[in-house]
Structure 1
């Protein structure tokens, strides 16, 4: 599904990009754009704390002793619709474009497989769609797919075995087959070790935008990327959906300084007219003073990371003013947020007390909250 490439000079100037409006498309179709509508007679709308399923029902960590990390194949239709069974707002997934211009869902830069006892790797973007779909479980009855392995962060090659498997999918299929009430956080994936020319980035983003334009309908969408140029370009190429800049928040160091702190992330957003930041949660806990600066810049803030699978850490973020979390333990965290944040808001409003309706069960004085914020950076170092 190729799109005609445009010249760099044809990309709209950033000065023409409208001002940040982070709330426009942030909420799932279960809620209106201003927040959660608590009942049909409610006149007061409460901003929604977003819960987003990481790669659907949760990422796979094959070497983990926790069976939840190997329950369902990540980034598949099955994983997405399994996540939709719980009270979440969005799913997050990774999009790359094959060499024949088809956006597909896959996280890693390389696919690993084995033939005749030899392990080989193939870059996803150098495969055709047909080649990509040949790996793993096949949709056609009786058809055997190529073996699928995965390389762990410590360099081990493991069989990609999960309790419930599913076949690979395209972005178009995801729009067609996933519960329409679920919003999509589309992460635009690029290899950290490759320097991309702008015309290549533009072409890839246009191919993705063409599919989104054809299939999105009323589904809420957020674009995000660790690649600062790609994030700013997708904002230039469209103004329908909000764009967030992904960052490790200073927990890792990169050659591109724009990726090395929350302060740099703010600059990327302000320079490019982006609507928000998605940070590794440790980056936020290690630098809590950045949260008010992000808010003062009228940016939204979401987080990702293993600590988001801990209910107390998630509720702490709600108290800090963070707008939502990307989580692996979808069932546990969505229910915890519902019990500790959403239901207390509903109850307060039903009682006609707007002030009560802005609080959760976890209530702290400003002094206690300040103490916790100072304590968190110490805790995450251990």
Structure 2
């Protein structure tokens, strides 16, 4: 890591490579211009589940600071210079889009932990878990399952109520973009009619309440990604992938190459990949950009400032991060446009040229990053 930091210090004053034919900024430009904030980003910074995801067993207090996917988390993230927040949307049994990451809600009754699928609850049942908005009313305790299979109370430093997609539109800073992840069960087969119904329910809320807020849709479900693109053309759709770091029965989820095929076949605008998948196959980046697709990343490595700056140099279009305060400072210090040019890259300065020796050195440092995280 020390060698990587030294490399960053040497090159941080340089300009990033141009996006070439990369998608998002030309398409998002009119959306940002209509929004309350007219800043057009050159490198998207996105808060993961708002202010950051919760990992209850983590020794890092930042992972347990604020309840993820809550209005409090979203508005806390809005205090920093982010472009978007990312959150997960599912639809309840009575057709209400709600914001929650896990497929199931875990709670306790008579000393026994039980689980209920979010999509099998009606809205009133869903909202009865966790802190309640009504004064004096106590909600049912929420639990989460840790990686080692244990159940742990979902305790965070600052808790908040569960919320709906409509509430997010109405109560979150309007200039902050929404990266809406359309959440589906990884191991369930969905019929086209059912997918269409779920997506139409979500789109109805988006169309009614989004106004001029920038929106990006994303999902790991390839059929849903292509279908939401067919159902609307107002907002870009990105396909989420682990980039080959996990293996699924559906081969479309198993590599960056397959992700490109999903996007090109469905007319999607970009890919959101686990960053380890990109670092293990950096040659995929120019292929993705040459295909007129945008590339965003997520993952623990995006909480490492040096890893974020390396992605900037590689021409990646943005990152989804948990440590929004620290990484927004990194982006502001290392990546913000040259103020003297008014935020516009000149033709002569837009490309950062690497020597072959420098490029080889940079790529050799990437496995070091992966091993440490």
Runs of 4 or more above 6 Å deviation:
none
User: Which residue is 2:25 aligned to?
Assistant: 23
User: Which residue is 1:133 aligned to?
Assistant: 127
Give secondary structure in 2 for the equivalent of 1:99.
coil
Give secondary structure in 2 for the equivalent of 1:368.
helix
Q: 1:325 aligns with which of 301, 314, 319?
A: 319
User: Which residue is 2:341 aligned to?
Assistant: 349
Q: Is the 8 A contact 2:41 2:83 kept in 1?
A: no
For residues 1-382 of structure 1, the aligned pairs below 5 Å read 22-26=24-28, 48-342=42-336, 345-349=337-341, 354=346, 358=350, 365=355, 367-377=357-367, 379-381=369-371
Q: Is the 8 A contact 1:249 1:259 kept in 2?
A: yes
Q: Is the 8 A contact 1:349 1:357 kept in 2?
A: no
User: Which residue is 2:10 aligned to?
Assistant: none
RMSD value, Cα: 2.5
Instruction: Tell me the alpha carbon deviations over residues 53-75 of structure 1, each in whole angstroms, 9 at most, x when there is no partner.
Output: 00000000000000000000000
- 1:80 and 1:333 map into 2 onto residues whose CA distance is 16
- 1:157 and 1:368 map into 2 onto residues whose CA distance is 47
Instruction: Tell me the alpha carbon deviations over residues 196-253 of structure 1, each in whole angstroms, 9 at most, x when there is no partner.
Output: 1110000000000000010000000000000000000000100000000000000001
Task: Quote the offset at 1:376 in angstroms.
Answer: 1.4
- 2:26 and 2:236 map into 1 onto residues whose CA distance is 8
- 1:28 and 1:93 map into 2 onto residues whose CA distance is 23
- Shift of the 346–379 alpha-carbon distance from structure 1 to 2, 3 Å rule, reads closer
Give secondary structure in 2 for the equivalent of 1:53.
strand
User: Which residue is 2:8 aligned to?
Assistant: none
Give secondary structure in 1 for the equivalent of 2:338.
helix
- Shift of the 27–74 alpha-carbon distance from structure 1 to 2, 3 Å rule, reads farther
Task: Quote the offset at 1:354 in angstroms.
Answer: 3.0
- Shift of the 336–378 alpha-carbon distance from structure 1 to 2, 3 Å rule, reads closer
Q: Is the 8 A contact 2:303 2:323 kept in 1?
A: yes
- Shift of the 29–233 alpha-carbon distance from structure 1 to 2, 3 Å rule, reads closer
Task: Quote the offset at 1:104 in angstroms.
Answer: 0.0
Of structures 1 and 2, the one scoring higher in RCO (CA 8 A, sep 6+) is 2
User: Which residue is 1:13 aligned to?
Assistant: none
- 1:125 and 1:353 map into 2 onto residues whose CA distance is 47
- 2:171 and 2:263 map into 1 onto residues whose CA distance is 32
Give secondary structure in 2 for the equivalent of 1:307.
helix
Q: Which moved more, 1:53-62 or 1:348-357?
A: 348-357
- 2:335 and 2:112 map into 1 onto residues whose CA distance is 51
User: Which residue is 2:15 aligned to?
Assistant: none
User: Which residue is 1:9 aligned to?
Assistant: none
Q: Is the 8 A contact 1:150 1:158 kept in 2?
A: yes
Task: Quote the offset at 1:107 in angstroms.
Answer: 0.1
- Shift of the 279–116 alpha-carbon distance from structure 1 to 2, 3 Å rule, reads same
- 2:338 and 2:91 map into 1 onto residues whose CA distance is 42
TM-score w.r.t. the length of structure 1 is 0.86
Q: Is the 8 A contact 2:89 2:100 kept in 1?
A: yes
- 2:31 and 2:65 map into 1 onto residues whose CA distance is 27
